[in-house]
């Protein structure tokens, strides 16, 4: 019996018991689980690993190279060349490396480094904290609360959503606006962010949407979280950066700029003679 | 009460030291116990009061506040330990303080607070060479702390080690290129060393960044005139002026004269609103 699906407003009366025993419980459970998750994350997150002095030195040495590359035009050429020579030599020799013997390190060695292990474990633990409750709740809802309509959405949706939002019920004619409990779960997922922000303060770990983005980026990048950095490579890269810089002192034509600024000259003349 | 707390907070934000005001504001808070209104901020206020009391020499107040902080944060807190060091320094027991800082650094070489306090202690005792050594080793690790580089610049200047000071102030400029004060410092160091060409350009940078900067314009006039003097005398064969003065990269004579004239004009304009005595002094100076 093909034909047009009627677009008249379908009114159905839902048993108020549904409201009491499904709508509210799902929300309450989600809030509780969120708060619980937040507290648990606080307990489980160890202290961030305290960098030791050699690591700090290593990191800051890289920053020096970066600052030099960025702001090189503000110091005279001689000063720049002096620093460039020193830093390039130091990067090549590995003077600033935490562990001088480790210039040739393979990725597996880097991962074996205990500090990096801890950082990666921490990251993975956090992700587990996010994924498990979500999976559990979804499973629980599917098991207990499937096969009936829960709410009517106030806005219309396309037919594609029918499969997802009315998963337990096989009715080809019913308006997509009548949805099952799993969609209420999704609505809560996004909506409770505001509630959690109120209850737990801005930076809280009860937010479900963050886990979703984390999952999608993990899939996209396919990279382990907290991959240890290979400083030797970075130093050599910075050395290359520095060696190709053509230094132009910002103050070459400062005389003309000042004259123009104070109105003694109309504009700057680009000439080779000073 | 909360207005005093707000004011104290503002003073903390601007990192000014206003010991007298801080103590005056904090005294009623502490005596009446209404400091509890501050909530978690209360510990920051205590630290601020402690530093003010030390500055003003009110050691008993400082010790009382320190007692409160100790009870809250315990023996092992780095910040509290450093305050103990400060008390030792203030009561004239620098050796105790030094022992404490050395101990803290042994336990944790990355402790910035203890490191800086140690350097300050050495400086206050006049042990400039050690202070410089400690600061240099601190900067070997923390190369991006421009305030430390600035401190080292001043230490070197005190020792009249101008080329080292110039290196340090260059590091500062590298990290803070838009701050005209650092360029001014660099200009004056260069002038003192005899690098007149660099000095002139840096003075010009100062007046570019900071319109009508008096010190900047004084510098421009002085340097430009001096370069003119030297190049004219060198050109004419007479060896006037010490030979170490570098003027190779300086602008041509015409440009120098224009700059000198601009500087004179701006100085007169700046002082046009001041009294006659000032103006006369300026005119006399300009004639030189």
For B151-163, the three-class secondary structure string (H helix, E strand, C coil) is HHHHHHHHCCCHH
| A201 vs A81: which has the higher pLDDT | A81
Answer whether B144 touches A (CB < 8 Å). yes
pLDDT reported for residue A28: 87
Task: Read off the DSSP letter of residue A19.
Answer: I
Judged by phi (left if over 0) then psi (alpha if -120 to 50, else beta), residue A94 lies in left
Cβ B110–A57 below 8 Å, yes or no?
no
pLDDT reported for residue A80: 92
- String of DSSP letters for B193-204: HTBHHHHHHHHH
Residue A98 distance to chain B (closest CA, Å)? 11
List CB contacts (< 8 A) between B174 and chain A: 67-68, 71-72, 74-75
Residues 6+ apart with CB under 8 A from A200: A35, A38, A206
Given a cut of 50, whether residue A2 has pLDDT beyond it is no
pLDDT reported for residue A209: 61
pLDDT reported for residue A208: 58
| Residues B206 and B187 sit within 8 Å (Cβ to Cβ) | yes
Cβ A52–B110 below 8 Å, yes or no?
yes
Residues 6+ apart with CB under 8 A from A240: none
| pLDDT tier at B207, thresholds 50, 70, 90 | very high
CA distances from A22 to A144, A145, A186, A220, B272 (A): 10, 7, 14, 36, 83
Mean pLDDT for chain B? 87
Determine the average pLDDT of the residues in B162-170: 94
Residue A234 distance to chain B (closest CA, Å)? 17
| Candidate from B143, B173, B208 with C-beta closest to A75 | B173
How far apart CA A110 and CA A138 sit, in angstroms, is 38
How far apart CA B31 and CA B24 sit, in angstroms, is 12
Cβ A75–B140 below 8 Å, yes or no?
no
pLDDT reported for residue B238: 53
CA distances from A213 to A183, A216, B63, B274 (A): 19, 5, 52, 65
Given a cut of 80, whether residue A11 has pLDDT beyond it is no
Answer whether B57 touches A (CB < 8 Å). no
CA distances from A151 to A11, A145, A148, A157, A207 (A): 12, 13, 10, 14, 24
Q: How many CA atoms lie within 13 A of B8 on its CB side?
A: 29
Answer whether B180 touches A (CB < 8 Å). no
The predicted-structure confidence for A42-96, as pLDDT tens digits, reads as follows 777 666 667 778 888 888 888 889 999 999 889 899 899 999 999 888 888 888 8
How far apart CA B182 and CA A70 sit, in angstroms, is 18
Token pair for residue B1? 């009460």
SS3 content of chain A, % helix, strand, coil (to 5): 60, 5, 35
Cβ A254–B175 below 8 Å, yes or no?
no
List CB contacts (< 8 A) between A57 and chain B: 140-141
| pLDDT tier at A226, thresholds 50, 70, 90 | very low
| Residues A203 and A189 sit within 8 Å (Cβ to Cβ) | no
Residue B25 distance to chain A (closest CA, Å)? 32
The listed range with the strongest mean pLDDT (A95-99, A254-258, B2-6) is: A254-258
pLDDT reported for residue B161: 94
The predicted-structure confidence for B41-83, as pLDDT tens digits, reads as follows 788 888 888 888 988 888 888 898 888 888 888 877 888 888 8
Q: What is the dihedral of CA B119, B124, B130, B134, to 10 degrees?
A: 10
| A173 vs A212: which has the higher pLDDT | A173
Q: How many CA atoms lie within 13 A of A127 on its CB side?
A: 16
How far apart CA A124 and CA A102 sit, in angstroms, is 27
The predicted-structure confidence for B88-122, as pLDDT tens digits, reads as follows 888 888 899 999 999 888 888 888 888 999 999 99
Q: ipTM of the predicted structure?
A: 0.79
pLDDT reported for residue A176: 72
Q: Can you give the pTM of this predicted structure?
A: 0.73
Burial of B166 (0-12, 13-18, 19+ CB in 10 A): buried
How far apart CA A43 and CA A46 sit, in angstroms, is 8
Cβ B204–A255 below 8 Å, yes or no?
yes
pLDDT reported for residue A228: 55
């Amino acid at each position: 019996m093909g034909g047009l699906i009627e677009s008249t407003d379908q009114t159905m009366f839902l048993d108020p018991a549904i409201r009491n025993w499904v709508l509210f419980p799902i929300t309450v459970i989600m809030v509780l689980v969120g708060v619980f998750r937040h507290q648990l994350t606080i307990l489980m997150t160890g202290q961030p690993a305290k960098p030791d002095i050699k690591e700090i030195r290593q990191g800051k040495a890289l920053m020096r190279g970066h600052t030099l590359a960025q702001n090189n035009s503000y110091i005279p050429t001689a000063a720049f060349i002096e620093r460039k020579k020193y830093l390039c030599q130091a990067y090549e020799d590995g003077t600033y490396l935490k562990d001088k013997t480790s210039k040739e390190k393979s990725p597996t060695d880097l991962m074996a480094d205990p500090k990096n292990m801890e950082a990666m474990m921490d990251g993975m633990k956090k992700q587990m904290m996010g994924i498990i409750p979500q999976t559990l709740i979804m499973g629980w809802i599917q098991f207990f609360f499937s096969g009936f309509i829960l709410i009517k959405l106030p806005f219309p949706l396309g037919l594609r959503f029918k499969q997802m939002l009315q998963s337990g019920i096989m009715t080809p004619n019913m308006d997509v606006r009548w949805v099952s409990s799993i969609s209420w779960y999704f609505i809560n997922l996004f909506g409770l962010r505001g509630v959690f922000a109120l209850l737990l303060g801005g930076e809280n770990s009860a937010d479900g949407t963050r886990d979703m983005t984390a999952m999608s980026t993990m899939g996209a990048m396919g990279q382990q979280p907290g991959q240890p950095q290979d400083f030797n490579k970075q130093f050599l890269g910075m050395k290359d950066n520095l060696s190709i810089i053509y230094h132009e002192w910002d103050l070459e034509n400062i005389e003309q700029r000042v004259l123009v600024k104070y109105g003694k000259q109309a504009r700057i003349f680009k000439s080779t003679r000073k | 009460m909360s207005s005093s707390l707000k004011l104290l907070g503002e003073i903390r934000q601007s990192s000014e030291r206003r010991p007298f005001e801080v103590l005056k504001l904090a005294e009623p808070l502490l005596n009446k116990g209404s400091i509890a209104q501050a909530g978690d901020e209360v510990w920051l206020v205590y630290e601020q009061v402690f530093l003010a009391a030390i500055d003003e020499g009110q050691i008993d107040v400082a010790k009382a506040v320190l007692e409160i902080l100790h009870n809250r944060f315990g023996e092992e807190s780095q910040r509290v330990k450093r305050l103990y060091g400060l008390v030792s320094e203030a009561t004239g027991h620098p050796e105790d303080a030094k022992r404490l800082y050395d101990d803290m650094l042994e336990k944790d070489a990355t402790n910035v607070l203890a490191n800086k306090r140690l350097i300050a202690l050495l400086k206050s005792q006049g042990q400039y060479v050690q202070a410089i050594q400690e600061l240099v080793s601190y900067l070997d690790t923390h190369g991006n702390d421009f305030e430390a580089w600035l401190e080292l610049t001043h230490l070197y200047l005190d020792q009249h080690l101008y080329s080292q000071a110039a290196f340090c102030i260059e590091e500062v400029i590298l990290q803070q290129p838009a701050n005209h004060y650092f360029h001014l410092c660099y200009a004056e160091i260069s002038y003192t060393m005899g690098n007149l060409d660099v000095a002139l350009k840096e003075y010009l940078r100062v007046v570019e960044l900071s319109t009508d900067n008096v010190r900047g314009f004084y510098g421009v006039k002085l340097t430009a005139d001096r370069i003119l003097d030297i190049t004219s005398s060198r050109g004419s064969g007479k060896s006037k002026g010490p030979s170490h003065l570098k003027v190779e990269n300086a602008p041509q004579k015409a440009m120098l004269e224009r700059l000198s004239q601009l500087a004179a004009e701006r100085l007169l304009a700046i002082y046009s609103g001041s009294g006659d005595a000032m103006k006369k002094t300026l005119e006399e100076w300009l004639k030189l």
